[in-house]
Each structure stands twice: as structure tokens, then as C-alpha cells.
Chains A and B, each alone.
Chain A
């Protein structure tokens, strides 16, 4: 306990970049892939054949502001 009692900090403490970077890279990529599937798959570019994904999320894509078709 003594180590925390005698070393109080008075401001918000930043998270070191080294600790943040792996999360930012892997998490960031996966999350952007999710947005890609909602927003752009089977529109301008296509990873899966057909138009099923496009048709399924069609309304969301329009209403979230992505170019659709």
C-alpha cells in the first residue's frame, strides 16, 4: 500500500504507445473490416461473389451515408 499512498498523481496518465500499438493495429484492422462489409462490400469492390451481402445491408448502407449503387 505504501507505494501508492506516497506517490499520488494529480492528472490523467497517458497510456504508453508501446502498450497501445498492438491493440490499435489488430483491433483497428478487424473493426475497419467490419465497417467495410457494412459499407462497401459488393459495391465498388467485392470479396464475396454475388450481391447477397449488399442486398442484406442495403438500407443500412444508404442510411449510414455510404455510396450504395
Chain B
């Protein structure tokens, strides 16, 4: 049962990865190229020798990008299916498609949107090589805290469900999540290593493209996985494959 869900989740994630790769090629790569051009012009102006290219740009933007996004997509789909396997049947009467869509919305918020409000994606040329350890640490701390806050918020909503009703319980839980986010955002140090003269337009478009790639991944996984999981869970639910869920 769980194995079937896991395999299907990874396959849906792979499909999501292919679409996200296409999106990244069209909307992301032009910004990466512009950022690298800026980096090179800065190095040239400073009189530094150009960095030797270990992997060609066309490899990085082609098979390298595809590998990264597809592996990430499959892993995301797999982890998503494990969360689904736990959540399904534990979120009231929500069916497989509804459960999957809800996990996708809350997961996209907790794993991507909220952490990126504090530590947004950066193109090449942005970021000091000496602080990579520090920045990586803070980035993952932010994600872990955000996921923990989301899990706690869902738990709170379920606890208040009976007294307040679904609508009001969700609002209270959402507010609690926002308060935690505001406190964590204030507590963790800011990072701003954007070089002077770096194009604001390129930075903005790069970050929008980055968020767009994640939106493609999470949307395809959230909608696609619910559809394929329906057949798997129908067996256990003893409803037969013909039964339609919300």
C-alpha cells in the first residue's frame, strides 16, 4: 500500500520535474545567463583572470539542469506521497484528491513561500563564497522551523474544529502560524549579499522564475498525485474503483 503510493508519488514527481525543467529553460535560464555575464564583467573590471569552466554552460543549462530538477521532482513526489500516506484518513472525511491538494497548498506555503520570504533564491554573482556554510545552515533552519510551525498549526486547527467549526478553527490556526513566522523572521539574521550595480530587474525576474518552477512542481504533484492515489486507497476504503471522491 505505502510502497505503491511511494512509487506513484515518485513517478508523478518525475512528470512534474519534466514540466518544471521546461519552465526553467524558458523563464529561468535567461536570468542565469544575465547574472553570469554580470559576474564576468565584474571580474574583468577587477582585473581577475576568468574562472576556468569545469562544466560548459550548455551542459549546466541542459542535461545538468534537467538532472537537478528531475531528481528534485522525483524526491519531492516521493516525500509528498509519504506525507499523504500519513495524512489520508486523518483529516476528517477529506478524500484522496482533496487530501493531496490540501497537502500541496500547505506544503508549498511551508516549504517554499515562507522560507523564501526570509531567504529568497539568488542568481549567480549574488552571495559571498565565504558565507556559504552560514547561509546554507540558516536556509535549512528556516525550512525546518516553517514545517514544524505548519504541522503545529494543522494540529491546532483540528483541536479547535469541534468548538469553533472548520472555518474559524482554520483562521485561528493560520493566525498562529503567521505569529510564529513573524517572530522567527525577526529572530533570524538577515542576509543581503547583492552586489552594488546588480540589475534589480534580473534579480526580481530570477526570483519570480524560481518561485514559478516550484509552483509548477507543487501544482502538478498536488493535482496529479491525488488522481493516481485514488485507485490505490479505494481498495482499502472498500468503496470500489468506481466511487468518486471529493
A contacts, CB < 8 Å to B: 4, 7-9, 11-15, 17, 19-20, 23-24, 27-28, 31-32, 34-35, 37-40, 43-45, 51-52, 55-69
Interchain CB contact (< 8 A) of B71 among A9, A14, A34: A34
B137–A15 contact, CB under 8 A?
Answer: no
B127–A67 contact, CB under 8 A?
Answer: yes
Interchain CB contact (< 8 A) of A28 among B29, B82, B132, B245: B82
Question: With A58-B60, A65-B214 given, is the CB distance from A20 to B78 under 8 Å?
Answer: no
Report the separation of the CA atoms of residues A23 and B4 in the bound assembly, to the nearest whole angstrom: 11
B29–A59 contact, CB under 8 A?
Answer: yes
User: What is the distance, in angstroms, from A19's C-beta to the closest C-beta of chain B?
Assistant: 6
Report the separation of the CA atoms of residues A27 and B83 in the bound assembly, to the nearest whole angstrom: 11
Tell me which residues across on chain A come within 8 A of B120, comparing CB atoms: 65
Report the contact-size class of chain B (Cβ under 8 Å from the partner).
Answer: 35 or more
Which secondary structure dominates chain A's binding surface?
A: helix
Report the separation of the CA atoms of residues A63 and B61 in the bound assembly, to the nearest whole angstrom: 11
A38–B127 contact, CB under 8 A?
Answer: no
A38–B72 contact, CB under 8 A?
Answer: yes
A12–B93 contact, CB under 8 A?
Answer: yes
User: What is the distance, in angstroms, from B244's C-beta to the closest C-beta of chain A?
Assistant: 13
